[in-house]
Structure 1
């Protein structure tokens, strides 16, 4: 499943959530969960959602349910 990460980030930002996706070159070379997704901001009630995973899709698969549970809208 391909994820439209731009749509996800724009939707979150439109709700006041700060979010980023990072690819870590060192972890990529080590083959150790090189992708990180982080989201924070007032709409999350002061909580930070962070996921480290082997792919962007895996990051979002773990993060989206947590974000929705905190009350923000995330596209499919």
Structure 2
């Protein structure tokens, strides 16, 4: 995925997680976590949502606010 590659090139570690227990419960099973070391020590963005797309929709604007350059995603 181009967005994840771009973030990694800027020193950001990105993790997506699908939680089976939360999925069974119908409670925002996807998690997106982005942290930045060594270049962005204060960076930590976490979003829990119903889908990967919803995670990106919530998380990417926050990453842009940190000054990261992120390519547009296609819907």
**Normalised-by-shorter TM-score class:** 0.7 to 0.9
Question: Please, which runs of 5 or more residues in structure 1 have no aligned partner?
Answer: 1-5
1:44–1:67 contact (8 Å) kept in structure 2 = no
Q: TM-score, normalised by structure 2?
A: 0.88
Going by fraction, where is helix more abundant, 1 or 2? 1
Q: TM-score, normalised by structure 1?
A: 0.86
Match of 2:4 in 1: 9
2:22–2:29 contact (8 Å) kept in structure 1 = yes
Q: How far does the alpha carbon of each residue in 1:5-42 deviate from its partner, in whole angstroms, 9 at most, with x for none?
A: x2111110011100011111111111100000000013
Going by fraction, where is strand more abundant, 1 or 2? 2
RMSD (CA atoms): 1.1
Q: Which runs of 4+ in 1 moved over 2 A?
A: 42-45
